[in-house]
Amino acid sequence: MKIYINGEFFEPQEARVSVFDHGYLYGDGIFETLRSYSGKIFRFDDHFARLKESAERITLDLPWEKEACRELLQEALQVNHSPDALLRLSISRGEGPPGLDPALCSRPTVVVITRPFHGYPSEAYERGISLAIVSVRKNLSRAVDARIKSTNFLNNILAKIEAKKKEAAEGILLNQDGFLTEGTVSNLFFVSSGVLCTPSTENGILEGVTRKVVLEIARGEKISVEEGSFLPDTLLQADEVFLTNTSWEVMPVTRVDRQSFDLGPLTRRLMEAFRTSTKGKNRRSPNVVPPAD
């Protein structure tokens, strides 16, 4: 694995970022996790649009335009000989003396980490994962805009710690009003009486790219969809539950707190439809531990 940092590729043991980088000092940066299938980056335009929006919201100038960014990620795939991969693109404010003023940093630091990835075994999707509704609340959107995919993940980390203590694979956070938002690294969906439900962006979620694709598929297949505000009891009374993110794609949930769920027909239907959209059927890996991002 070779890691890209500001124009060069390094072996992992040689990849270094300054201790004066404001991404390290203050969590001042943004990132995207993308996935490639057979050498093609899935929904690159959507990822770049979100990256650009994140950059604008923290007044960070991206070092290139969209096509130059695409070329960089394609180069990372080629250098690493990894047509099927997860790519983490991180952009921090850059190196500068300690202090909160962004003007202290002369240029951003760009890092691309490329990890070969072929998906999870089919058994993982039959077994599903467990969720816990945690007490850690989602950051107030008026304080830290949820539309910023920030490298400061402390809120999510605290939720993950609590979920692990509850022996759950993922934690679901509520917002300040007690409504469901999202997981620490995922978007939440559930099915009630044939309707596909998911918390709306007004509840303070980051709009995931995989979430967007699933909603497109559902509407294209005439599945009833409701984006809204839902209390935890609504989730516990659902017929099916699943999560989405770049690496999981569509991941069934078989337990929320003490409530058990079966892998239902609508979840299966969306799983298969999503795999068809990526042309990534039957990709498998022995690794069943989801990445942290």
User: What residues act catalytically?
Assistant: 149
d(CA 173, CA 216): 25
Q: Supply the DSSP symbol for 12.
A: G
146 neighbors 139 (Cβ within 8 angstroms): yes
* DSSP of 47-79: HHHHHHHHHHHTT---SS-HHHHHHHHHHHHHH
User: Which H/E stretch holds residue 17?
Assistant: none
> How many Å separate Cα 201 from the centre of its chain?
15
| Among candidate residues 274, 49, 288, 234, the one with its CA nearest the CA of residue 226 | 234
Nearest alpha-carbon partner for 244 in 76, 33, 89: 33
CB 226 within 8 A of CB 220: no
Task: Give the C-alpha distances (Å, rounded to integers) separating 74 from 110, 186, 278.
Answer: 15, 25, 17
Strand 240-245 with 85-92, pairing: unpaired
Q: Which residues contact 172 (CB under 8 A, 6 or more apart)?
A: 131, 132, 133, 134, 180, 181, 182, 183, 188, 235, 256
